[in-house]
Amino acid sequence: MSEQNKPQEEAQVTAPEVVEIEWEEIQEVLSIREAMIDAEDQLSRWLLEVEKQKTKSIHRVNQLERALYSAGVKLRDSKGVTDDVTYELKLPTAEGEKGYFIRKDQ
């Protein structure tokens, strides 16, 4: 057969409409697809749980932030420090040390 006849023969080959695949041949593909779906479901559940925990943690941080500010204001008021002037609260770094309200001049 000459090289000249090859392209004509290849052009005459038609692709079938449907190619049948036996169960034994497709089983591996189905197993992999099922494992992928399971992995995606697990990931979805995990991400949802992470988002729920993130929301709870943000809420807790916000509560603590408000409580911290409130406690600072209460401490400031108990020491008779005016709120007309800006003060910074310096916290102690070790137990037994003193804290201070330090005036912040503009």
Between CA 42 and CA 58 the distance in angstroms is 24
84 token code pair: 């007309």
- Would you kindly state where each structural domain of the chain is located, as residue ranges? 21-81
Evaluate if pTM is beyond 0.75: no
Between CA 103 and CA 78 the distance in angstroms is 16
Q: Give tens-digit pLDDT for 36-95.
A: 999 999 999 999 999 999 999 999 999 999 999 999 999 999 999 998 889 999 999 999
Between CA 85 and CA 74 the distance in angstroms is 16
